[in-house]
Amino acid sequence: MTLTYVFHSGFMLEGRDAILIFDFWRDAANGVVEQTLRTTRKRAYFLASHFHPDHFNPEILRLEMPRGEKRVILSRDIYRRRRAGTEGVTAYLRRGETYRDDFIAIRAFPSTDSGVSFAVEMENRRIFHAGDLNNWQWEGKTTPEKSRKMEGDFLAAVRDIKAECPAFDLVMFPVDPRTGGDFARGARQWLQAIPTRRFAPMHFPPAREQAMAFGPEAEQQGTEFLYIHTSGEQIANF
């Protein structure tokens, strides 16, 4: 499998028979998604975790694949918010629901913001994309009451995920320095709770360099941290 960072929380994971494209907002400067769709004969799955415009772009419903096949799996809140209808959508998922076909299985888990997070099984690998699941502690903006609730909700979500998926081969997770000094709190708690072979940070523009500083701490947990330098970059091959 090859993992390419697209932009913001967007990633493209290409396997032997299928391609996963998570939370596509816009293509990378090198047009890696468009180019792949134009030439591949594989099946491409677009997954969007929630309706926020930096995670879901309705353009994915119109992107063409001249040689391959496209399937679109969306969080149910995208439909409720009227960001998309039923045309061109393969399935809408609420937390706790599953989509399965001959190539993949997708399980929707909770988020601490809108929508869901996704656990995907493909080619005997277990993959997680957090969407906006995180322990969001905005420095100077979060009241003590909201902070405690966020912490509890996040840790409960992690327990639910671990109960069904005790380990992951790849995790894509928010590491957003804009939240303040403890910006990696949620990522740290995730790695302490769930064994993760490879960890890809996301949701960090424009503070990329600061987000990458979490790498050595993640590596101390026995995790391979996938450092990102630019959009459109292939960051893992496994």
Structural domains of the chain sorted by starting position, each given as residue range(s) with its CATH number in brackets: 2-237 (3.60.15.10)
Residue (of 39, 41, 47, 88) closest to 172 by Cα position: 47
Per-residue model confidence as pLDDT tens for the chain (238 residues): 999 999 999 999 999 999 999 999 999 999 999 999 999 999 999 999 999 999 999 999 999 999 999 999 999 999 999 999 999 999 999 999 999 999 999 999 999 999 999 999 999 999 999 999 999 999 999 999 999 999 999 999 999 999 999 999 999 999 999 999 999 999 999 999 999 999 999 999 899 999 999 999 999 999 999 999 999 999 999 9
Alpha carbons 75 and 109: distance in angstroms, whole number: 10
Judge contact between 49 and 115, C-beta under 8 A: yes
Q: Is the dihedral of CA 20, 100, 160, 146 positive or negative?
A: positive
Which residues fall within 8 angstroms of residue 115, CB to CB, at 6 or more apart? 49, 50, 51, 52, 55, 75, 76, 77, 78, 131, 132
SS (H, E, C) 217-235: HHHHCCCEECCCCCCCCEE
Alpha carbons 49 and 90: distance in angstroms, whole number: 14
In degrees and rounded to multiples of 5, residue 209 shows phi and psi of -60, -40
